[in-house]
């Protein structure tokens, strides 16, 4: 065994020497590469500078002239007009994609149709509002959640269209104003069918409010009469027993229900004057994207990279061409 130990030590010394030599060669190659890169830019500094200036100028032009804004309008569709609303928005988007500026200006009413880049609509996910006082909606979500993830259920097209509020997003080149949004809302409300439905629905809601007020007054009269009877009974020192047949508890619950309904109905009056009612609008938000506003930085780097790539390709081509020429000789 003593004869093998020196041999192992010698092998280890050789491996360490080869490793150190490989590391040294690596750093030498890196130094050579760095020097060649510096030499390349020094030798071509005029061309490199011209490429950077050209890229910066072109990028600045794109940043200043291609700036996009995101405009959001929150609406609530009434009288079962959700599918109608989504179909209308899809129609407008198809016209934008096809470049039909005549339709966008004459039918929809956009004053500057060329500035509209995109339009889409998404529901405002509010599951609590969706299941509020609606036990059937809660059961529906439970049933659908049994066969899929709850997040997918809440974002499902069937579920999301039943949310109260929806956001219309308009991507525009240049800023929009409220006068640009009004024609869109007028177009969405321009449906003979829903115009008639809106009139009937609004009138029915007003009648329901009046009728509920009458019923509440009648219930108050009944309760006042009961209160008067109780006071008289106490004065006469007589005992009167009221059993469940008086349905007094049901009357009180009915009044409480009607009072809650009246509050909701009066809130509905604020939105039932339109089929597609605008709730709020936020205009001219800067569209934040990866290269939005950064073309002046991205383009010089891209042009410089392209220049280096072409240079390396030509160098490779020349070297291979010289080799092929020598082999033929």
The separation between the first and the last C-alpha atoms of the chain, rounded to the nearest angstrom, is 60
pTM of the model: 0.63
Give the contacts of 157 (CB within 8 A, at least 6 positions apart).
none
d(CA 32, CA 38): 10
Q: What is the pLDDT at residue 290? A: 45
d(CA 66, CA 58): 12
Question: Per-residue DSSP letters for 3-39?
Answer: TTHHHHHHHHHHHHHHHHHHHHHHHHHHHHHHHHHHH
In this structure, what is the dihedral angle of CA atoms 81, 82, 85, 87, given to the nearest 10 degrees? -110
Q: Which residues of 250-272 are buried (b: 16+ CB within 10 A; e: fewer)?
A: eeeeebeebeeebeebeeeeebb
39, two tokens: 């030499």
Cβ contact 189:275 at 8 Å = yes
Q: What is the pLDDT at residue 125? A: 75
Give the contacts of 299 (CB within 8 A, at least 6 positions apart).
55, 56, 58, 59, 62
Residue by residue, pLDDT tens for the chain (329 residues) are: 444 445 555 555 556 667 677 777 777 777 777 877 787 777 878 888 888 888 888 877 776 666 788 899 999 999 989 999 999 999 999 999 998 999 999 999 888 888 898 999 998 876 666 666 565 666 666 665 565 555 555 555 666 667 888 999 999 887 888 888 999 999 999 999 999 999 999 999 999 999 999 998 888 888 787 767 656 655 555 544 444 445 677 888 888 888 888 888 898 888 898 999 999 888 888 765 544 567 778 888 888 888 888 888 888 778 777 777 776 65
d(CA 313, CA 299): 21
Q: What is the pLDDT at residue 169? A: 93
Instruction: Give ∠ CA 41-42-46 in degrees, rounded to 5.
Output: 80
Cβ contact 73:281 at 8 Å = yes
304, two tokens: 């410089």
Percentages helix, strand, coil for the chain, rounded to the nearest 5? 70, 10, 20
pLDDT, tens digit (0-9, with 9 covering 90-100), for 259-295: 888 888 898 888 898 999 999 888 888 765 544 567 7
Give the contacts of 304 (CB within 8 A, at least 6 positions apart).
48, 51, 52, 55
Q: What is the pLDDT at residue 182? A: 92
Q: What is the pLDDT at residue 239? A: 47
Q: What is the pLDDT at residue 152? A: 59
Instruction: Give ∠ CA 289-293-298 in degrees, rounded to 5.
Output: 90
d(CA 296, CA 272): 49
Q: What is the pLDDT at residue 170? A: 92
């Amino acid at each position: 065994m003593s004869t093998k130990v020196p041999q192992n030590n010698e092998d280890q010394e050789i491996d360490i020497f080869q490793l150190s030599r490989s590391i040294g060669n690596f750093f030498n190659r890196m130094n050579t590469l760095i020097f060649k890169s510096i030499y390349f830019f020094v030798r071509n500094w005029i061309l490199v500078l011209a490429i950077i200036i050209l890229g910066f100028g072109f990028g600045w032009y794109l940043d200043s002239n291609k700036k996009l804004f995101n405009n959001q309008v929150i609406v609530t569709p009434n009288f079962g007009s959700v599918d109608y609303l989504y179909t209308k928005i899809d129609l407008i988007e198809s016209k934008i994609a096809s470049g039909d500026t005549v339709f966008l200006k004459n039918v929809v009413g956009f004053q500057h149709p060329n500035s509209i880049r995109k339009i889409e609509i998404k529901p405002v996910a509010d599951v609590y509002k969706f299941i509020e006082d609606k036990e059937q909606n809660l059961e529906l979500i439970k049933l659908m959640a049994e066969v899929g993830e709850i997040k997918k259920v809440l974002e499902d097209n069937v579920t999301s269209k039943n949310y109260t509020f929806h956001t219309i997003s308009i991507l525009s080149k240049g800023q929009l104003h409220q006068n640009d949004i009004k024609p869109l809302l007028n177009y969405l409300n321009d449906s003979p069918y829903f115009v008639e439905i809106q009139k009937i629905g609004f009138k029915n809601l007003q009648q329901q409010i009046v009728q509920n007020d009458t019923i509440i007054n009648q219930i108050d009269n009944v309760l006042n009469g009961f209160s008067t009877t109780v006071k008289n009974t106490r004065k006469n020192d007589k005992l009167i027993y009221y059993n469940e047949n008086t349905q007094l508890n049901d009357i009180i619950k009915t009044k409480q229900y009607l009072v809650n309904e009246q509050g909701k109905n009066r809130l509905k009056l604020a939105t039932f004057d339109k089929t597609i009612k605008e709730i709020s609008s936020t205009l001219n938000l800067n569209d934040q994207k990866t290269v939005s506003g950064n073309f002046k930085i991205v383009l010089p780097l891209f042009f410089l990279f392209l220049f280096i790539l072409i240079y390396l390709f030509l160098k490779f081509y020349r070297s291979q061409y010289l080799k092929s020429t020598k082999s033929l000789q």
